[in-house]
Amino acid sequence: MTLLIAVLSGFLLAPFAPVIHRALGRFSGWLIAVLPASLAALFLLLAGRGEGVVVESHAWMPGLGANLDLRLDGLSLLMATLIAGIGAAIFVYAGGYLAGHRHLGRIYAYLLMFMGSMLGVVLADNLIVLFVFWELTSVSSYLLIGFEHADAKARKSALQALLVTGLGGLAILAGALLLGSAAGEMRISQLSLHREAIREGGLYVPIVLLLVFGAFTKSAQFPFHFWLPSAMAAPTPVSAYLHSSTMVKAGIYLLARLTPALGDTALWNGLLTWFGAATMVVGAWLAFRQTVMKLILAYSTVSALGTIVMALGVGTTYAVEAAMVFLLAHAFYKGALFMVAGAIDHETGEKDVTRVGGLRRSMPLLAGAGVLAALSMAGVPPLFGFIAKELTIKAALPDAGVGREGYALAGVVVVSAALGVAAALRVGVAPFFGVKRETKREAHEPPASLLLGPGVLALLGLGAAVLPGALATPLVEPAASAALGGPAQPQVALWHGLNLALALSAGALALGVALFRGQWAIVGLAEPASRPLDAIGPSRLYEHGLAALLGFADAQTRVLQSGSLRRYAFITFGVIVLAVGATFVLRRPLDALPDIGDARPYEIGLVLLILVGAWFTAVARNRLAAIAGLGLVGYGIAIMFVLFGAPDLALTQVCIETLAVVLLVLVFYMLPDFRSFSTRPQKVRDVLVALAGGAAMAGLVLVVADHQPDMTVSDYYAANSYGLAHGRNVVNVILVDFRALDTLGEIVVLVVAAVGVYALMKLDPTTREGASAGGERGGEG
């Protein structure tokens, strides 16, 4: 139960977050942070016991092979600890950052939901459960990005993130189902036992393509990276949490999780290595071009995610270890830098790096956190980022598992790292040094709530490097061995001796400092070349694709939903006539007219009555007469039901007919006079369609009468109506018991329809005055 409660606790607390906030005011963030903090402690405690793997299974939908299987192993532990630990810092930070915001309580609720979803993703041991939580992270991310929903840009960005990651989610679902059927197993931890079956089942390629696609969209890999910078429309606590340290790592988590089952093939390694490398360098360059702090950080996050994916793609033991170390290091420094950038914005009102400088005097503590985190990102010893960078370079270099292309890969890593150094200095160091600049608000040290998160994370980046045995290895080693499906011994140490990787790391640092100094000159030179690239970038493709989709929806709506009742009727009956007619021509079900027995005189009389009603409706010269004619048809059919032993149907028909007459009278009352707009050919056409429609329906009825349907289901209902459901009226028993779910769906549809009618009648701006004069709502008496 422990893991299940851990996953659900966020969802359970979420509805109460606004209440807690209302009760506690400015200290609410600190209190809510207690939940994630204790969850982080819980995970560490659980992992510390015994073999460090906790497994739970709860029945959920056993018939569908979807059980709530949860599992905490090394990889889950790394992710879950990050999610809960950074989450605790984020709640405190959000309380300070959004202090006084009208909807602070609401963002706590969204963040709690997100945390629960994310824990679900990393603790799920069942493909379906993983998918469900995966989708929940997309949904809660949508709510968080669109938090400032009055802002059109925030809404657009939220939708973009939802569509891109939602598309990926569909691919994950398809991939997970294929994988589950190929392996004959939905438990993720058992998949690697079936790796041969998966590989040889013929579905390996689609499985990999679908799952990698889904993971790439979530982890913002090129060419799906564009949603992440747009997502910066979210408040900074959200960016720091979702878009640097947790949600964007869900894709990486999935790839690492599936490596034992799917990895180690040319397809897998090639896809991950080269898309990862492309993302790494594209992201680094785009970060280099930016001046808005959050965008620099967003693009450099894209770059870092690419680095991790590339390392997973290289796939050697060493590279997977490097990926895990890098993941942890990045979570520390990037989370800290986002919170620093947010704090600068909060205290000075400036978001652009070119508009701030010399802030160290007015905010020394924040400057300390920013510089420490930035140096870690730049890969300066003795910080954790230095270790991560050296390991990553070494992982790319030619080795037992990497061929000569390793030199090219290492080169790309070094260039990206150098660009990353420049970005790190620009965001984390430059604002605090140099000439003091005038800012929108007088700069001063932010409150404790804004300092705690960045401070702790920046210090962790130092501590993990100085005391790796205490702070880094216990998390990284089990994670790497889980991702490898075998033992791992990451060499988390500051000093590995003099070697090529160390030299390249130092080279990247030096190159990065040079790039930082010449940044604006280089960007200015490159601008003419990058502008045409922007025009064909994936973000434009997304916009064009979305516009095309909406355009298509618009066009086909205009054709099909003309708003003309006659046209609807024409299309509907035309299709029926064509479809039924074609079947009659092809299958000839009615070669001989079936024997329907002798008609009794009163039955013939009734039919004649109905025919007269129909004729009268068609030729009536005013609406009331037409309605009366239609009513005659309807009541005639009701009597028919009575004659043939269907009293329930007859009762319903009478009621419906009565109300229909009332409704028609009310509607027609509003219409202009009855006039004929049809030309003669149109009338002929309409008559033909009507007659053909009638003939098709009559033919269908005859076929049904002639046909002996399978009565198994009907017989079952009739036989068990009283025994099982205690009712003698089979029709009603079917409605409220045997098929109650259908009925439930139908009454929901009815209510939705009523809401629609209400909206049409009451909310139309042209009639609003009339409606309010007629009494807006009941209940006033």
Q: Which two tokens stand for residue 670?
A: 């509003």
Shortest separation between residue 610's beta carbon and another protein, angstroms? 22
Cα(134)–Cα(173) distance, integer angstroms:
10
Q: Rounded to an integer, what distance in angstroms lies between the CA atom of residue 170 and that of residue 134?
A: 10
Interface residues toward another protein, by CB under 8 A = 647-648, 650-652, 655-656, 658-659, 662-663, 666-667, 669-670, 724-729, 731-733, 735-737, 740-741, 743-744, 747-748, 750-751, 753-755, 757-758, 761-762, 767, 770-771, 773-775, 777-781
Helix, strand, coil share (%) of the chain residues, nearest 5: 75, 5, 20
Nearer to another protein, 545 or 756 (CB): 756
Smallest separation, CB 768 to another protein (Å): 12
Q: How far is the CB of 762 from another protein (least distance, A)?
A: 7
Closest approach of another protein to the CB of residue 673, in Å? 16
Tokens found for residue 257? 């999780």
Name the residue nearer to another protein (CB basis): 534 or 648: 648
Nearer to another protein, 458 or 734 (CB): 734
Q: Which of left, alpha, beta for 54 (phi over 0: left; psi -120 to 50: alpha)?
A: beta
Contact 394, 508 (CB under 8 A): no
* CB distance 3 to 70 below 8 Å: yes
Nearer to another protein, 403 or 781 (CB): 781
What 3-state class would DSSP assign to 66?
Answer: strand
Amino acid at 453: G
Q: How far is the CB of 755 from another protein (least distance, A)?
A: 8
- Is the CB of residue 214 less than 8 Å from the CB of residue 177? no
The least CB distance from residue 763 to another protein, in Å, is: 11
Residues 485 and 73 sit within 8 Å (Cβ to Cβ)? no
Question: In the complex with another protein, which residue's Cβ is closer, 554 or 648?
Answer: 648
Query: 388, 330, 372: which is closest to 79 by C-alpha?
Result: 330
**Taking the complex as a whole, how short is the minimal distance between the CB of residue 646 and another protein, in angstroms?**
9
Tokens found for residue 684: 């002929």
Indicate the residue among 625 and 646 with the shorter CB distance to another protein.
646
Rank residues 489 and 767 by Cβ distance to another protein and give the closer one: 767
Residue 553 beta carbon to another protein: minimum distance, rounded to whole angstroms: 28
Cross-strand bridge partners of residue 265: none
Nearest approach, Cβ of residue 377 and another protein (Å) = 51
Nearer to another protein (CB atom), residue 523 or residue 654: 654
Residue 610 CA neighbour count, 13 Å, CB half: 14
CA atoms within 13 A on the CB side of 518: 10
Instruction: Tell me how far, at minimum, the Cβ of 16 lies from another protein, in Å.
Output: 22
Alpha helices in 184-292 (DSSP H): 195-200, 204-218, 227-230, 236-240, 248-262, 266-289
Cβ 325 to another protein shortest distance, Å: 47
Report the b/e string of 35-68 with b at 16+ CB within 10 A.
bbbebbebbbebbeeeeebbebeeeeeeeeebbb
For residues 498 and 773, which CB has a smaller minimum distance to another protein in the complex? 773
| Angle of CA points 99, 103, 109, to nearest 5° | 100
Rounded least distance, CB 652 to another protein, Å: 5
- Sequence-distant (6+) residues with CB within 8 A of 84 are 36, 37, 39, 40, 43, 115, 119
Q: How far is the CB of 630 from another protein (least distance, A)?
A: 17
Q: Toward another protein, which CB reaches closer, 152 or 773?
A: 773
Q: Which of 296, 454, 314, 472 is nearest to 386 (CA)?
A: 472
Query: Whose Cβ is closer to another protein: residue 503's or residue 751's?
Result: 751
Residues 6+ apart with CB under 8 A from 744: none
Distance CA 87, CA 92 (A): 9
Tokens 């980022």: give the residue: 385
- Specify the residue, 528 or 672, whose C-beta has the smaller distance to another protein: 672
Closest CA to 342 of 228, 232, 457, 249: 232
Rg of the chain's alpha carbons, rounded to an integer? 34
- Cβ neighbours around 163 below 10 Å, total: 18
Q: Which helix (H) or strand (E) holds 58?
A: strand 54-61
- CB 607, min distance to another protein, A: 24
Min separation Cβ 761 and another protein, Å:
4
Which residue shows structure tokens 């309580």?
105
Which of 423, 437, 414, 346 has its CA nearest to residue 377? 423
In the bound complex, what is the minimum distance in angstroms from residue 569's beta carbon to another protein? 21
Q: Locate all alpha helices (DSSP H) within 402-537, ordered by sequence.
A: 405-424, 448-466, 468-471, 473-484, 500-517, 519-535
Torsions phi, psi for 316 (to 5 deg): -70, 160
Kindly state the DSSP code that residue 485 receives in the 8-state scheme.
T
The DSSP 8-state label assigned to residue 110 in this structure reads: H
60 versus 433: smaller Cβ distance to another protein: 60
**Cα-Cα end-to-end distance for the chain:** 52
Closer CB to another protein, 714 or 732, in the complex? 732
Residue 656 or 713: the one with the smaller Cβ distance to another protein is 656
**Identity of the residue, 503 or 753, whose beta carbon is nearer to another protein in the bound complex:** 753
Q: 604 or 753: whose CB is closer to another protein?
A: 753
* Dihedral angle of Cα 310, 316, 321, 327, to the nearest 10 degrees: 10
Q: How far is the CB of 771 from another protein (least distance, A)?
A: 6
